[in-house]
Amino acid sequence: MESGENSLPSGSDGVKRKVSYFYDPEVGNYYYGLGHAMKPHRIRMTHALLAHYGLLQHMQVLKPSPAKDRDLCKFHADDYVDFLRGITPDAQQDQLRQLKRFNIGEDCPVFDGLYSFCQTYAGGSVGGAVKLNHGVCDIAINWAGGLHHAKKCEASGFCYVNDIVLAILELLKVHERVLYVDIDIHHGDGVEEAFYATDRVMTVSFHKFGDYFPGTGDIRDIGYGKGKYYSLNVPLDDGIDDESYMSLFKPIMGKVMEVFRPGAVVLQCGADSLSGDRLGCFNLSIKGHAECVKYMRSFNVPLLLLGGGGYTIRNVARCWCYETGIALGMELEDKMPQHEYYEYFGPDYTLHVAPSNMENKNFRDLLDDIRSKLLDNLSKLQHAPSVPFQERPPDTELHQVVLRDEDEDDKDERWGPDSDTEFDDYSNPVPGRVKREYIEVDRNDSGSYHNHLDRGRDFDMPFKENASSKGSGSNGSG
């Protein structure tokens, strides 16, 4: 099923996509601490590039409404969420047992504003899912999200709450089947674990495997019980290049789309799989990485694009900017526009960077073997499962602020009471085109999934024991 080659509007399907993009102007101010590899500033750099490439005017730009305690508790344990809400850098010394219990420490430190950071990035992903559920957009983007390692009651690999699991739970209110695809260099363990025993979510993770964080993601891990064959793991080795990566990604994802037929797709676009990443060891170009986005986009299924890892931050911003262009069906000039972070991109000041000449340890016969094993697993899926829907659970409360809308003329506008003071720090390259508006899509008070979803028990708890943190150390990743 190689139908993904002409996915842009100029290509065979000829369809332009409506894109909703979630961004909080505060997100770049959160700081994990001196020397920590995870830098939320990269989200702000990405946004600056989007602005100066002129992409914001083609999307609906939304400030996510922060996820509330009860939203986070749809996946996470109450006491874990309570702890995240209450902990401060100063209070740490008195809470050593709790810190240990919830795996808060070196990789996942306590920092100022930690809880609001979690609320912000989770709010963007869940908000994106709600927009997709309402058919407001075809593609929703939250580059601040994608923190795939977080567990039900444990932080892991720079991740505190699992916005991806929360977003998928939201999508499951409307869609019978949701596909999760993870191209971060690290195994998407938190998401896999959450949905390991259900056939309503298929998870597919492409990752470095073998003596590498988090240590899980063996090709033989295929799901459990009803979820057997609904988890797919693609173990890769150092130095994989675009051609090798695509020789697996396209045939596998093509087959997945054919047999699973998801109603929505969530793609975690971790950029630590790029060549030259500070923590990674793959050799993908930005175009190679973005080819995954292009390919998944080509199926015309509602698509949620999320961030994730990525530790050479100039390349992260390059990548996610380019991929936003792909989502919009726009090819961007390689020469970068002047902007506030321009000096990060020297000496070439281009969007694309050449991959390195590192050795590709993924030999042909190894790749062939992986491909045929996974296609064989997929052939065991006889049909796409479906569930009877009784009553649609209410949406998670959503009242984003629209920072600007891609189609300004035909909107039912309701201006928020304090909309003029909300974004003093928001800089837009096209002054006067920023729309500040409250929309209240649905204010139904949402109950717990477990009460509404006919098979909600599937999501009550992780199904696999927490994976042992093999290789856990200071090289974990989001």
| Number of residues binding to Zn ion, judged by CB under 5 A | 6
Cβ atoms within 10 Å of 356's Cβ, excluding its own: 11
Shortest distance (Å) from residue 475 CB to Zn ion: 10
Shortest distance (Å) from residue 191 CB to Zn ion: 13
The sign of the dihedral angle between the CA atoms of 463, 468, 473, 475 is negative
Angle, nearest 10°, between helix axes 313-328 and 286-297? 30
442 is known to lie in a ligand binding site: no
Shortest distance (Å) from residue 64 CB to Zn ion: 22
In angstroms, rounded to a whole number, what is the distance separating the alpha carbons of residues 434 and 422?
A: 12
- Pick the piece of the chain touching Zn ion (CB under 5 A) from 50-58, 218-226, 383-391, 469-477: 469-477
Task: Indicate if 149 belongs to the active site.
Answer: yes
- Is 133 an interacting residue with respect to Zn ion (CB under 5 A)? no
Q: Which parts of 218-285 fold into alpha helices (H)?
A: 242-260
Spatial CB neighbours of 308, under 8 Å, sequence gap ≥ 6? 146, 147, 148, 182, 184, 268, 269, 270, 271, 272, 477, 478
Spatial CB neighbours of 276, under 8 Å, sequence gap ≥ 6? 312, 315, 353, 355, 356
- Pick the piece of the chain touching Zn ion (CB under 5 A) from 11-19, 303-311, 358-366, 467-475: 303-311
107 is known to lie in a ligand binding site: yes
> 193: part of which helix (H) or strand (E)?
helix 189-194
Q: Is-contact 264 171, C-beta < 8 A? A: yes
86 is known to lie in a ligand binding site: no
Residue 468's Cβ-count burial label (10 Å; 0-12, 13-18, 19+) is exposed
Closer of 30 and 212 to Zn ion (Cβ): 212
**From the list 309, 325, 355, 462, which residue makes contact with Zn ion (rule: CB under 5 A)?**
309
- Pick the piece of the chain touching Zn ion (CB under 5 A) from 98-106, 215-223, 306-314, 413-421: 306-314
272 is known to lie in a ligand binding site: yes
Q: Which of 76, 149, 187, 289 is catalytic?
A: 149
211 is known to lie in a ligand binding site: no
- Pick the piece of the chain touching Zn ion (CB under 5 A) from 159-167, 178-186, 243-251, 333-341: 178-186
Residue nearest to Zn ion (CB): 309
- Pick the piece of the chain touching Zn ion (CB under 5 A) from 13-21, 41-49, 66-74, 263-271: 263-271
In angstroms, rounded to a whole number, what is the distance separating the alpha carbons of residues 68 and 62?
A: 17
**From the list 63, 74, 186, 294, which residue makes contact with Zn ion (rule: CB under 5 A)?**
186
Closer of 141 and 274 to Zn ion (Cβ): 274
DSSP assignment, residue 337? P
Length of the chain as a residue count = 478
- Is 184 an interacting residue with respect to Zn ion (CB under 5 A)? yes
**String of contacts with Zn ion for each residue 265-284, x by CB under 5 A:** -----x-x------------
79 is known to lie in a ligand binding site: no
In angstroms, rounded to a whole number, what is the distance separating the alpha carbons of residues 330 and 112?
A: 38
Closer of 28 and 190 to Zn ion (Cβ): 190
CA 409-413-414 angle, to 5 degrees, is: 165
Amino acid residing at 257: M
Shortest distance (Å) from residue 270 CB to Zn ion: 5
Residue 393: both structure tokens together = 């659970």
Closer of 81 and 293 to Zn ion (Cβ): 293
Shortest distance (Å) from residue 188 CB to Zn ion: 9
Catalytic residues: 149
Residue numbering of the annotated binding site for a divalent metal cation: 184, 186, 272
Q: Which residues bind Zn ion (CB under 5 A)?
A: 184, 186, 270, 272, 309, 477
Residue numbering of the annotated binding site for substrate: 107, 157, 311
